[in-house]
Amino acid sequence: MTTHRYAVFGHPVAHSLSPRIHAAFARQTGVTLEYTAIDSAPHDFVAALDRFVGAGGVGANVTLPLKEAAFAICARTSERAQRAGAVNTLSWNDGQWYGDNTDGIGLVRDLTGRNALDLRGRRAVLLGAGGAARGVAPALLDAGVAELVIVNRSPERADALADALGDPERAHSRYWKDLEQLGDFGLVINATSAGRGQIDASAFDLPFALTTPRTLAVDLNYGEAAIPFLAWAKAAGCHDAVDGLGMLVEQAAVAFEEWHGISPDADAVYAALRRKDDLLVTAD
């Protein structure tokens, strides 16, 4: 029986739960695969992918900070990836890479499905404009947010993302220093990596004026990296605060189905991760 090779690429990537998630999906569905984590700095990414293919690699997930680089190396991309300008799922077909972006659909499935939250009509602020933000921004517009304000410490990146979305009536960029003057939002999304390596809520010195008692706060990070933002959301009195674990599982489920033609049970794997079940053979 042939064992196909898959991997998640990132820098750093040792923290990634993707190998455990895909192993759990494989056990559910009877798929035989090898899935590993490969740390690759941006300057070595193309060479790392070449080595991966040479060793039998046929598909990969891509995480921070390589999603825009992954888009650039693809011969073909999905409409989702084109709108995002970033790729998180790679498939090796006929000697070339095909790229998709499953982040946005993963986030919306988690929020509107698992958490039963309605995004329609909400005024949203997106903190960050890198690969993660690019992946979710189009899906947020499709999900019906009334307005999407993109704020990034490098304003030119926020401008570029707003322009790329092609919806000037709803998608705008603003300066980080102006956060206190932007008014309140029904949805605050952290797509930065500011919490990585920190467990102090002071890592997020955001104005409470961004929120109301009805605000939904979402961090695309999970685990310790989400602690500072979620602590800020609690202190700000947000109605709901959600980390990125559900999004991670849902986007992985979409990628798994693309690769194997089988839809896994994402809810079971999500529940196991939340309770740190032995199903996932955790190494923590």
d(CA 68, CA 29): 31
What would the 3-class secondary structure string for 245-260 be? HHHHHHHHHHHHHHHH
State the binding site for shikimate: 16-18, 63, 88, 103, 222, 251
Give pLDDT, residue 17: 95
Q: What single-letter amino acid sits at 49?
A: L
Region of residue 95 (left: phi > 0; alpha: psi -120 to 50; beta: else): left
The percentage of the chain sitting over the pLDDT mark of 70, rounded to a whole number, equals 93
Write the pLDDT tens digit of every residue in 53-94: 999 999 999 999 999 999 999 999 999 999 999 999 999 999
For the chain, list the domains and their CATH numbers: 4-101+248-280 (3.40.50.10860), 104-242 (3.40.50.720)
Residues annotated as catalytic are 67
Annotated binding site: 16-18, 63, 79, 88, 103, 128-132, 220, 222, 244, 251
Q: List all residues 6 or more positions away from 142 whose beta carbon is below 8 Å from its beta carbon.
A: 104, 108
Q: What token pair was written down for 132?
A: 């993660």
Taking the chain (284 residues) in runs of 10, the rounded mean pLDDT of each run is 86 93 97 96 97 97 95 97 95 97 98 96 97 96 98 95 95 94 97 62 78 97 92 96 97 98 97 71 30
